[in-house]
Structure 1
Amino acid sequence: MAASSSLQVSVVAADHEVWSGQAAMVVATTIDGEMGIMPGHIPTLAILDKGEVRVTLADGSKVIATATEGFLSVDRDVVSVVAGDASLVS
């Protein structure tokens, strides 16, 4: 099965959606350090640490959010970032 050329990304806090859309890459802060996700990434479940979630769009622009602890999951080019609290920086 060929990997798609983009990711479907959702960044949510406990009580609201922060951002969602198509992206080329996601970098998030986990308890094991920064994790980068690109299309075709293996299924993953990681524990978020307090820090940034950086989403790179197809045109190279970035969406940056701060997030508290939570988790990140990746499955079939769908990335879900779920944090206790999160907000957009830019």
Structure 2
Amino acid sequence: MSTLNVKFVAADREVWEGEASRLIARTTEGEIGILPGHQPILSVLVEGDVVVVPAQGERRTVKIDGGFLSVDKDVVTVVAQHVEMAGV
């Protein structure tokens, strides 16, 4: 099974990195779902929750204050000024 390498980066640190089966986020143009093999994309994110479904373990909800989402070759990077993830 293919996976995504997902990274959440805040202004001052890398918050989380791990393998995921999918990611769901809200962009300025609406909600987007990212699965392995997704086309490269760069989007502006709005404030709210980003949902990550890890390859192993339970789904995680990450609060961001807006930012950017980049997808390229199954690497997803979410960059925001503030990133809050429970347990991190």
TM-score normalized by the length of structure 1 = 0.89
**Superposed CA RMSD:** 1.5
| Corresponding position of 1:16 | 13
Opposite residue 20 of structure 2, the aligned amino acid is A
> Which 4+ stretches in 1 moved above 4 angstroms?
none
Worse-matched range after superposition: 53-62 or 13-22: 53-62
Aligned equivalents of 1:15 and 1:26: distance in 2?
Answer: 23
Matched pairs, number: 87
Deviation at 1:34, TM superposition (A): 1.2
| Corresponding position of 2:4 | 7
List gaps (5 residues or longer) in structure 2: none
| Corresponding position of 1:74 | 71
Opposite residue 43 of structure 1, the aligned amino acid is P
Q: Does 1:43 align with 2:31?
A: no
TM-score normalized by the length of structure 2 = 0.90
Describe the SS at the equivalent of 1:68: strand
Q: Quick one: percent identity of the two aligned structures? A: 47
Aligned equivalents of 2:16 and 2:26: distance in 1?
Answer: 17
